[in-house]
């Protein structure tokens, strides 16, 4: 377990899936956690309740991360109520899958705005305080398809690939200030997104995974918690793949 006592973390899209598991894991390791949500408050409040019932501290904070004004307001609120941020986990993401020839501009824009542009807003919003305190851990959640590509997901793959390059650039800019930036690239994880896939698609995916199973959100959260802690202090600009061997890069 990472020792995150005294650290303040913001996890976006933390009401379900990987974000939920990450918020719970960081709190278990001692961090105070801001649980971001956009549309569904109840799941976020449930995460807060679980953290508090285990003796931790957390708040739920609403913000559309694709809106820079809402991101700035969220960071200001978290800083006021919890203190300066030490850890940012940019996890919020959406899918709008379609074949490229059928993909609308709205499907392209929505995914790029939430999955890539939002991380720019988030990192910019937290960077000044991290620079001032000469400490920060930034973890972005990319995807295996950001490395391999995937038919029907040109928008999602482009956003997740862009996230990797963005994270490496951030790492280079802030390394001298004791701020690390790394990406985690999950494969197919057992979340709401994969649950709705047709059985034939699920079977095909499993055939591409050497470990022959989907990953669990907690397994991704474990990787994020490692990168958020001081054991990873000399790791920056890297991509940690959590995909059961689906892509060995």
In terms of Cα–Cα distance, which of 128, 134, 122 is closest to 180? 134
Phi-psi sector, 67: left (phi>0), alpha (psi -120 to 50), beta: beta
Q: Are 163 and 118 contacting, i.e. CB atoms less than 8 angstroms apart? A: no
Please confirm, yes or no, whether 214 is among the known catalytic residues.
no
Q: Point out which residues pair with 183 in neighbouring strands.
A: 140, 239
The secondary structure of 117-133, three-state, reads: HHHHHHHHHHHHHHHHH
In terms of Cα–Cα distance, which of 155, 238, 244, 150 is closest to 206? 244
Which of the residues 135, 156, 214, 234 is marked catalytic?
A: 156
The catalytic residue positions are: 156
């Amino acid at each position: 377990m990472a020792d995150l006592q005294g650290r303040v973390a913001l996890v976006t899209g933390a009401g379900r899936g990987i974000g939920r598991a990450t918020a719970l894991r960081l709190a278990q390791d001692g961090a105070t956690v801001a649980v971001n949500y956009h549309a569904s408050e109840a799941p976020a409040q449930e995460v807060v309740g679980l953290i508090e019932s285990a003796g931790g501290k957390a708040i739920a904070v609403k913000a559309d991360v694709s809106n820079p004004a809402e991101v700035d307001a969220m960071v200001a609120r978290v800083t006021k109520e919890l203190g300066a941020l030490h850890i940012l986990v940019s996890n919020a993401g959406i899918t709008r899958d379609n074949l490229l020839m059928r993909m609308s501009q709205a499907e392209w824009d929505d995914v790029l705005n939430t999955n890539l542009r939002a991380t720019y807003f988030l990192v910019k919003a937290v960077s000044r305080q991290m620079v001032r305190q000469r400490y920060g851990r930034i973890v972005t959640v990319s995807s295996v398809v950001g490395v391999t590509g995937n038919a029907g997901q040109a928008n999602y793959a482009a956003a997740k690939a862009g996230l990797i390059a963005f994270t490496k650039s951030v790492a280079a800019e802030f390394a001298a200030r004791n701020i690390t930036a790394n990406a985690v690239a999950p494969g197919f994880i057992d979340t709401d997104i994969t649950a709705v896939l047709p059985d034939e698609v699920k079977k095909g995916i499993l055939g591409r995974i050497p470990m022959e199973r989907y990953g669990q959100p907690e397994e991704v959260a474990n990787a994020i918690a490692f990168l958020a802690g001081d054991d990873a202090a000399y790791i920056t600009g890297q991509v940690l793949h959590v995909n059961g061997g689906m892509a060995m890069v």
